[in-house]
């Protein structure tokens, strides 16, 4: 799932920053030359254990985050709705649990149906951006469809 990959990357970066911070903090608290060997051993053990256990920790933390988000979404209107912003070069998707930016060149296929307009994204997860044809808030879907047809790819109409 696209969101899981995003959060796994974020949690992994957070753990890596914490690991590097701990190693540097421990290094700057050395008192003598004997401590350098002890620091080296402690840091090596810490790094090996990090690489051994980090995937399990990341998966567990991501599962907890998603369970919490589902509960919050079910009980309250804590989480907002999806918002799409289109420019000449990017598609920005603001979702309740993250934001994504795609370039128009990543659009593999566009499909227009009676109720929805689908944009298929070429990515590692190959996900679909679906846009409802119901116009609200002054949204002009016909301009978007014309832009995609003229500049991005041919639209398959079903």
For 8-66, the pLDDT digits (tens) are 777 888 888 988 898 888 888 877 776 788 888 888 888 888 888 888 888 888 888 77
**For helices 34-75 and 2-28, angle between their N-to-C axes, nearest 10 degrees:** 150
Q: Is 65 exposed, middle or buried (0-12, 13-18, 19+ CB in 10 A)?
A: middle
- Return the pLDDT at 89: 82
Cα 60 to Cα 35: distance, rounded to the nearest angstrom: 35
Query: What pTM was estimated for this model as a whole?
Result: 0.57
Q: What is the pLDDT of residue 2?
A: 57
Residue 111: both structure tokens together: 């499909």
| pLDDT tens per residue, range 108-155 | 888 888 878 888 888 776 777 777 777 666 567 777 888 888 888 888
- Positive or negative torsion for Cα 122, 124, 126, 130: negative
- What residue segments make up the domains of the chain, in order of their start? 2-75, 83-157
Looking at domain 83-157, its CATH architecture is Roll (2.30)
């Amino acid at each position: 799932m696209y969101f899981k990959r995003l959060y796994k990357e974020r949690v992994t970066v957070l753990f890596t920053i914490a690991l590097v911070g701990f190693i540097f903090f421990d290094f700057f608290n050395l008192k003598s030359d004997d401590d350098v060997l002890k620091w080296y051993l402690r840091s090596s053990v810490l790094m090996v254990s990090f690489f051994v256990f980090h995937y399990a920790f990341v998966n567990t933390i991501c599962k907890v985050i998603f369970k919490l988000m589902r509960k919050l979404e079910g009980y309250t209107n804590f989480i907002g709705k999806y918002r799409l912003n289109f420019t000449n070069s990017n598609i920005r998707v603001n979702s309740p649990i993250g934001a994504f930016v795609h370039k128009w060149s990543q659009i593999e296929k566009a499909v227009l149906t009676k109720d929805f307009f689908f944009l298929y994204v070429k990515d590692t997860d190959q996900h679909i951006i679906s846009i409802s044809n119901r116009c609200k808030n002054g949204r002009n879907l016909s301009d978007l469809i014309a832009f995609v047809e003229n500049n991005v790819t041919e639209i398959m109409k079903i």
